[in-house]
């Protein structure tokens, strides 16, 4: 049986990003028959349609599009910047959705996890991201909702998440996502 390939997209470039730590914890909880890769968004050129129209596509776009088109599903882990999606994540969605008619996102299942050191759990970013995913035709898992608030209280002194109840909740997210992928994958 071929392993399913899952792309993880983290909306923060910071070295010690809370979202990266959550993404790494979630990645480790996929079943063994899944191949999980976190896609580096650092250095992805900002989208400008002129580059596609004029055949001057930056190498970072070509590499990104080639990488993403081979994934079977997507997990988005994002902080919230100014009550919305960080620019780096929105840019990745834009680059992958073009040129028109060649979207790498089309009809592949996804899930959204939002992460915040505050109580609101990046609710705004979670929902703004879902709006873009609807347009991009990414069937996005609805339950369990994954708003990870007060994340600094979940990290131990090494920056790892080791709390049993939190890990159990994270596992429920991944288990539901695996079912969602099976249900929404192209046959």
DSSP class per residue in 91-143: HHHHHHT-STT--SSTT--EEEEEE-SSTTTTHHHHHHHHHHHHHTT--B--S
The arithmetic mean of pLDDT across residues 55-81, rounded, is: 97
The arithmetic mean of pLDDT across residues 101-115, rounded, is: 97
The topology (CATH level 3) of 4-184 is Rossmann fold (3.40.50)
SS3 10: strand
Q: Count of residues for the chain?
A: 187
Domain spans of the chain?
A: 4-184
- Condensed to tens digits (0 to 9), the pLDDT of residues 132-183 reads 999 999 999 999 999 998 999 999 989 899 899 999 999 999 999 999 999 9
Which residue carries 């979940």 as its tokens? Answer: 154
pLDDT band at 119 (very low <50, low <70, confident <90, very high): confident
pLDDT of residue 62: 98
């Amino acid at each position: 049986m071929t392993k399913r390939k899952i792309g993880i997209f983290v909306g923060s470039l910071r070295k010690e990003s809370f979202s990266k730590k959550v993404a790494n914890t979630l990645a480790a909880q996929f079943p063994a028959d899944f191949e999980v890769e976190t896609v580096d968004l650092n250095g992805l050129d900002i989208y400008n349609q002129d580059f596609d129209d004029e055949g001057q596509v930056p190498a970072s776009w070509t590499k990104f599009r080639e990488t993403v088109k081979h994934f079977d599903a997507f997990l988005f882990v994002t902080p919230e910047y100014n009550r919305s999606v960080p620019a780096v994540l929105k840019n990745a969605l834009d680059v992958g959705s073009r040129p028109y008619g060649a979207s790498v996102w089309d009809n592949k299942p996804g899930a959204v996890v939002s992460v915040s050191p505050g109580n609101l759990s990046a609710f705004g970013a979670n929902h703004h991201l879902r709006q873009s995913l609807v347009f991009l035709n990414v069937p996005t898992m609805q339950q369990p909702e994954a708003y990870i608030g007060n994340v600094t209280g979940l990290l131990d002194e090494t920056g790892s998440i080791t709390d049993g109840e939190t890990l159990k909740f994270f596992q429920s997210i991944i288990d539901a996502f695996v079912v969602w992928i099976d249900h929404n994958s192209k046959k």
